Amino acid sequence: MRATNGAGKNLGADRQAVEVPREWYNIVPDLPSPLPPAIDPVTRRPVDEAKLRRLFVGEVARHEFAGERFIPIPEEVRSVYSIWRPTPLVRALRLENALGTPAKIYYKNETVSPPGSHKANAAVPQAYFAKREGIRRLVGNTTAGQWGCALAFACSVFDVKSTIYMSRSSYDSKPYRRELAEAWGAEVIPSPSERTAVGRSALAKDPRDMGTLSLAVGESQEDAMGDPTARSAVGSVFNFVLANQTVMGQEAVAQIERLDEYPDSVIGCIGGGSNFSGLFWPFYHEVTAGKSLKEVEFIAAESTAAPRMTRGEYMYDHVDAAGRSSLTKMYSLGHTYVPPDIHSAGLRTHASAATLSLLVQHGVVRPVAYNQLDVFEAGTLFARTEGILPAPESAHAVKAVIDEAKKCKESGEEKVILFNLCGHGLLDIESYRAYLSREMTPGDAAPGAIERAVAEAKALHPWLQQTGA
């Protein structure tokens, strides 16, 4: 089924005759080795679906443990997806010209979603299943605000209430994403707050506490667990979230094949791992199913402020900074590690998705890390050639793409490079101003900080690290 599309080809774009996917793809049955289970640190036993159902919407918890390769997407979810999906697959002809590379660069443009990023792909099903199960309110947390906005948007469309705990520092300094969530009807609460025991305890210690991601996670979970009509909603790391995001990669497979192309490299930035996984999983499936036309390289771009995959250790660790969560086998910098305050809040985490970590461990995914000066240089070049201002997180992927394209210039290889432009930077414009006015620092990890936090995390649960899973 390779219809040649003359017009689309000339213009370097294709979004024709591609439909909104009918299933989410679940990578778990195709992994090269079994996924180590998350462990409850109290019972020392694997976390099961029953435990997750107390926190998440039921159908969502079921998906987290799903063994099937394909999960049907309800028509109601597809209908909302179709507001902005399928998203354009665009050839970056002007970036290619600026680099003088023989490589062909394509990007999946996820900036066109109503909240401006791929996060909407995971928020919509959580809101839909909540509505279907009679859940009246979803509770989330956000730092940069991308997930908070996506959740507020999705809940608004399905008429579910949303409560967003936003760290006080973001709440005060980034009013635009907060006000956007409020325009969709969300209740946005600065964290720490008086609403929860976790918040009150923090405020008792320091009434001027500016909050952290960990605190916001703690408050949102306490709020959701304390209200039988509410559940928690999450925007990354979990298998079901990553599976939701495969609508991007499935569209991209169909779109790039219609252009008679196939990628040599698939690239994305990684925080929790949801945008990169959503793009590359379906290409990985092509490989494991023997349908891939090439040996595809998967490249994950992270920040040198939080270089889990390039400098962390593959071990069991808490996903939250406070060390209260269950333990996940993953590349971690140690849950006590605090990344420098870079402009890509979405990548500022010590933890990473279990599936992504396993694939890095197996050498299926190759990680690279960049400091934010190089990242904003790449993002600015992309904006000035292709016109779309990348979110600071997405600009990490752009930097990796430029590096690969430059290698092709040296080697003369005409590689096809595909990457995920997972969000726009219209509400992050202040960080571009800081870059352009030379007020920005590289934001690298402080010397010794990672080694200390990794050692601390490994020492915490010695019984677990020895399981060798």
What is the contact surface with a second copy in residues (CB under 8 A)? 7-8, 10-13, 15-20, 75, 78-84, 86, 88, 90, 93-94, 109, 112, 114-116, 120, 153-154, 156-157, 176, 179-180, 182-185, 380, 383-389, 426-427, 429-430, 432-433, 436
Closer residue to a second copy in complex, CB, 183/455: 183
Closer residue to a second copy in complex, CB, 81/331: 81
Nearest approach, Cβ of 183 to a second copy (angstroms)? 4
DSSP conformational letter for 326: P
Give dist(CA 263, CA 103) in Å, integer: 11
- Two tokens, residue 188: 């946005």
Closer residue to a second copy in complex, CB, 82/229: 82
Nearest approach, Cβ of 252 to a second copy (angstroms)? 16
Amino acid at 117: S
The torsion defined by the Cα of 84, 146, 186 and 63, in degrees rounded to 10, comes to 70
- Two tokens, residue 94: 């002007």
Closer residue to a second copy in complex, CB, 302/386: 386
Q: Around Cβ 71, how many Cβ atoms within 10 Å?
A: 18
**Strand ranges inside 411-454, DSSP E:** 416-421
Pairing of strands 161-167, 137-142: parallel
Closer residue to a second copy in complex, CB, 186/356: 186
Query: DSSP characters for 71-113?
Result: EEPPHHHHHHHTTTPSPPEEE-HHHHHHHT-SSEEEEEEGGGS
Nearest approach, Cβ of 442 to a second copy (angstroms)? 20
Closer residue to a second copy in complex, CB, 54/433: 433
**Sheet holding 104-109: strands in order across?**
13-14, 89-91, 104-109, 416-421, 265-269, 297-303, 365-370
Indicate the SS3 state at residue 142: strand
Distance set, CA 414 to CA 14, 101, 209, 405 (Å): 20, 8, 53, 9
Closer residue to a second copy in complex, CB, 112/368: 112
Nearest approach, Cβ of 184 to a second copy (angstroms)? 6
Amino acid at 267: I
Nearest approach, Cβ of 4 to a second copy (angstroms)? 14
Q: Around Cβ 207, how many Cβ atoms within 10 Å?
A: 8
Residue 322 backbone dihedrals phi, psi, to 5 degrees = -80, -10
Closer residue to a second copy in complex, CB, 28/90: 90
Closer residue to a second copy in complex, CB, 18/356: 18
Indicate the SS3 state at residue 116: coil
Distance set, CA 413 to CA 101, 164, 261, 296, 365 (Å): 9, 47, 15, 15, 21
Nearest to 351 by CA among 316, 381, 376, 386: 316
